Chain A
Amino acid sequence: MIELHRVWRVFSVGPVKVPALSDVSFRIGKGEFVTLHGASGAGKTTLLRLLYRDDLPTEGEIQVLGYDVPKLARGQVAALRRSIGVVFQDAKLLPGRTVYENVAFVLRVLGTPRREITPRVFDALRAVGMSSRAQAYPAQLSQGEAQRAALARAIARKPLLLLADEPTGSLDETMAGEVLDVIKDIWTGGTTVLFATHQHSLAVALRQRTLVLQGGRVVKDEG
Chain B
Amino acid sequence: MLGFLIGEALRDLRRAGRVAVSAILLITLSLAALGAFWLVSSNIGQATDQWRNRVRIIVFLKRDASTAEGHAVADRVTAMPGVATVRYVSKTEALGTLKQVLGKDASVADQLPVNPLPASLEITPTAEGATPDGARALIARLAALPEVDEVGGGSQWIERLAQGRRLLNVVGAGVGAVLALAAILTVTTATTLVLHARRQEMEIMRLVGAPELVVRMPLLLQGMMQGLLGAMIAIWALIGGFTLVGPRLEPLVHQTLGIERLTFLRPDNVVALMVAGTVLGGLGGWLARGRREP
- Interface residue ranges, A against B (CB under 8 Å): 52-56, 74-75, 77-84, 86, 92, 94-95, 105-106, 108-111, 157
Question: Do the beta carbons of B293 and A74 come within 8 Å of each other?
Answer: yes
What does the 1/0 interface line of B1-27 toward A look like (CB < 8 Å)?
A: 100100000000000000000000000
**With A106-B208, A110-B209: A77-B293 Cβ-Cβ less than 8 Å:** yes
Contacts A54-B294, A108-B4 known; A94 to B207 CB distance under 8 Å? no
**With known contacts A92-B200, A94-B204, A105-B204, A110–B210 Cβ distance under 8 A:** yes
Complex Cα distance, B205 from A94, in Å, reads 11
Main secondary structure of the interface of B (DSSP, over half): helix
- Kindly state the separation between the CA atoms of A160 and B162 in the bound complex, as whole angstroms: 71
Chain B residues whose CB sits within 8 angstroms of the CB of A80 once the complex forms: 209
B294 touches A53 (CB 8 A): yes
Contact A108/B1 with A74-B212, A78-B210, A80-B209 known, Cβ cut-off 8 Å: yes
Smallest beta-carbon distance B23→chain A, Å? 22
B75 at interface by CB-CB < 8 Å: no
Q: How far is the CB of A214 from chain B (nearest CB, A)?
A: 26
A110 to B213, CA, bound (A): 11
Q: How near does chain A come to B8, taking the closest CB pair, in angstroms? A: 9
A86: nearest chain-B partner, CB-CB: B207
Given the interface contacts A94-B200, A105-B204, A106-B204, does A111 sit within 8 Å of B1 by beta carbon?
Answer: yes
CA gap between A157 and B1 in the complex, in Å = 17
| Structural contact, A92 and B208, CB atoms closer than 8 A | no
List B29-67 residues whose CB lies under 8 Å from chain A. Answer: none
B146 at the interface (CB under 8 A from A): no
A-facing mask of B179-205, CB < 8 A → 1, else 0?
A: 000000000000000000000110111
Per the bound structure, the CA–CA distance linking A106 and B204 in Å amounts to 8
Which of chain B's residues have a CB closer than 8 A to the CB of A157? 208
Report, nearest first, the 10 A-B pairs whose CB atoms are least far apart: A81-B209, A82-B209, A109-B210, A78-B209, A106-B208, A108-B4, A109-B205, A56-B294, A111-B1, A78-B211
